Chain A
Amino acid sequence: AQRVTQPEKLLSVFKGAPVELKCNYSYSGSPELFWYVQYSRQRLQLLLRHISRESIKGFTADLNKGETSFHLKKPFAQEEDSAMYYCALTLRTGANSKLTFGKGITLSVRP
């Protein structure tokens, strides 16, 4: 069965510091990977997906199939980046495919 692992529960950094939120997955096929973010008192929302290969709010994530990782990175953290971040995967690129989530990590960016 597929699994998503986010090894850390909390990452606390100062504003301007680099951030790397780790995500590893286990699945023998070719999943689609996502990062979802949940800001305080807001809903889960998509941050980025590996297929689009884009940078959102300064965040990037590269799918490394050899290491089965999809780490989320930002070179200079901002206070407004403080949130809960979830890594997730689906097993196929079409619609109607369930998301499998990691446990999530709280990012705290201090002034």
Chain B
Amino acid sequence: EPEVTQTPSHQVTQMGQEVILRCVPISNHLYFYWYRQILGQKVEFLVSFYNNEISEKSEIFDDQFSVERPDGSNFTLKIRSTKLEDSAMYFCASSDDSRLAGRNEQFFGPGTRLTVL
């Protein structure tokens, strides 16, 4: 069964450094998402992406964050200058066109644990 994959599984970085988290969504999916979960807190929406542009973003998703789908398969989240409070588990998700599939299920990747020192 196809799955969303994410790399790396764990990223350690110094405060102020740029990081890129990578995701490969399920191949026929059209909608892509990033969520994060700070340790002990709830899973929070960051951004959704469709047709090569951001559809919606949360207050968390400020100018330090960006997303792109550079090659039609990878979906990346970049944090330009990491802060201590960016330490979290970052989940990528994808979904198909529910109007065709008759459902609205987001499939999640295993997550990337980002640790900012």
CB of B18 within 8 A of chain A? no
Interface residues of A in 7-50 (CB under 8 A from B): 32, 36, 42-46, 49
25 contacts between A and B (CB under 8 A): A43-B3, A43-B4, A43-B110, A43-B111, A45-B107, A45-B108, A49-B103, A49-B105, A51-B103, A90-B104, A93-B98, A94-B98, A94-B99, A95-B30, A95-B95, A95-B98, A95-B99, A96-B31, A96-B48, A96-B55, A96-B95, A99-B35, A99-B45, A99-B106, A101-B43
Closest Cβ–Cβ distance, residue A35 to chain B (whole Å) = 12
Task: Note all chain A residues with C-beta closer than 8 A to B107.
Answer: 45-46
Known interface pairs A90-B104, A103-B42. Does A95 touch B96 (Cβ–Cβ under 8 Å)? Answer: yes
Task: Note all chain B residues with C-beta closer than 8 A to A90.
Answer: 104
Per-residue CB contact flags for chain B residues 89-117 toward chain A (1 = under 8 Å, else 0) read: 00100011111000111111111000000
Contact partner, B31, options A42, A95, A101, Cβ 8 Å: A95
| Interface size class, chain B | 20 to 34
| Interface size class, chain A | 20 to 34
Smallest Cβ-Cβ distance to B3: which chain A residue: A43
Task: Note all chain A residues with C-beta closer than 8 A to B56.
Answer: 96, 98
Known interface pairs A95-B31, A99-B35. Does A44 touch B91 (Cβ–Cβ under 8 Å)? Answer: yes
User: Do the beta carbons of B50 and A96 come within 8 Å of each other?
Assistant: yes
User: Do the beta carbons of A46 and B105 come within 8 Å of each other?
Assistant: yes
Per-residue CB contact flags for chain B residues 8-35 toward chain A (1 = under 8 Å, else 0) read: 0000000000000000000000110101
Smallest Cβ-Cβ distance to B111: which chain A residue: A43
- Known pairs A36-B108, A104-B42. 12 more at Cβ < 8 A? A43-B3, A49-B104, A51-B103, A86-B42, A86-B43, A94-B99, A95-B96, A98-B58, A99-B45, A101-B44, A103-B41, A103-B42
User: Do the beta carbons of A97 and B108 come within 8 Å of each other?
Assistant: no
Task: Note all chain A residues with C-beta closer than 8 A to B97.
Answer: 95
Task: Note all chain B residues with C-beta closer than 8 A to A101.
Answer: 42-44
Smallest Cβ-Cβ distance to A38: which chain B residue: B108
A97 to B103, CA, bound (A): 12
CB of A100 within 8 A of chain B? yes
